[in-house]
Amino acid sequence: MQEAIAYKTWLFRPTSDAGSLTTPEVEERAPKTCRRTSSRSEKMVSENAVIVFGRRGCCMCCVAKTLLLGHGVNSPVVEIDEKEETMVMEELRMAGIGATAEMKFPAVFIGGRYFGGLERVMGAHISGELVPILKKAGALWL
């Protein structure tokens, strides 16, 4: 009998230093001259094959999560309060992970790059392109 993996949700909490942090693993391995400071959002995107950023309580975010879950992808969802929305969007744009000026929530990141909003995910699902993209990102194994 298989056991289900727990669904993860994060509430975005701004940090005192404008949301940037340096991971201890990078600190130890990298020489002092090339240490890199990354944003918390960028770190979450790079650590997950698929991740959804959305407003807290947004029904479209729930639809995106349910669609991905229907394909067998248990993607984490980062829920953002309205106060932090502009800060998070700017942080994602500055991270260089494909986020554009027209990015809106829910924002779906697949394979460490910005894929699109709910419309793009639904369009890829309807056209049959979503499953190969998820397989290439490592979110699906079948």
Q: Cβ atoms within 10 A of the Cβ of 132, count? A: 11
Question: Which residue type, as a one-letter code, is found at position 129?
Answer: E
Share of the chain above pLDDT 90, in %: 23
Residue 98, helix vs strand vs coil: coil
Give pTM, 2 decimals: 0.70
Q: How far apart are CA 126 and CA 12, in angstroms?
A: 31
In the numeric block, which tokens belong to residue 45?
């995107």
Q: How far is CA 106 from the centre of its chain?
A: 10
124 pLDDT exceeds 60? yes
26 pLDDT exceeds 80? no
pLDDT tens for 45-82 read 888 899 999 888 889 999 999 999 999 898 898 888 88
Query: Domain extents for the chain?
Result: 17-137
Q: How far apart are CA 91 and CA 39, in angstroms?
A: 7
Contacts of 35 (CB under 8 A, 6+ apart): 22, 26, 27
Pick the CATH number of 17-137 from 1.10.3720.10, 3.40.309.10, 1.20.210.10, 3.40.30.10: 3.40.30.10
Predicted confidence at residue 120, as pLDDT, reads 92
With cut-offs at 50, 70 and 90, classify the pLDDT of residue 128: very high
